[in-house]
Structure 1
């Protein structure tokens, strides 16, 4: 699934919020306690920022009038709200992925491919903390999906 600009912004906000002296490194043992703590904190902060944005959207939906006098303005507003609501729906699904990643951390399975069992890699997890597959496994999955869609 493609990453949207809102997801990237939310993840960057989370990274800045947890900016600390520690950054996971390839020089240490993979998925050690420090790395798990880092990703747990990153995921929790990312979730918090998404929930905060969703709360602001809900508040503006409750406060803002949806009835403009001009039909063009009304259509534009309704289109904007539709886009905003679709974005929030994507983020609701992202929260489910974040929760699943947090459960994998607690179970000791975080950072390992659900298909091959191989390490996903720190660079991929830093870029996409909810990743569940290695790049190779994800590409194979997407190829199979495309083939089945084309049939």
Structure 2
């Protein structure tokens, strides 16, 4: 049984381990604490996790509510950093996390959810398409500063 919860400061070590699994890099823990505190106190962010019955963080995802100035001026959500532990994949964890964010976005009257995924992550792309996200509707660009 998996439970979806809001990530809190007490989850920082497990959240850091998930991030390291995704990027292969150890996070800067003092900075992670600062950022986690900001995210948890900002109503435009939602950071949730999927926990096992024993309290192990199996996955996490962040949603960011964005205001819009065109059309009906409805907000939209950016989905970012969906991470599921390797040994917990293909068990519905990611689907539960994204489903929770989608319900949250609907409650906030969001018009759409958008996300980006690294071009090389074919398995992730297949997952997103399997839950209704359309590939190729937009072209993504990134510039590192």
TM-score by shorter chain over 0.5: no
Which of these two proteins has the greater Rg computed from alpha carbons?
A: 1
* Structure with greater proportional helix content: 1
What is the TM-score of this pair, normalised by structure 2?
A: 0.28
The normalised TM-score by structure 1 is 0.27
- Bigger proportion of residues as strand: 2
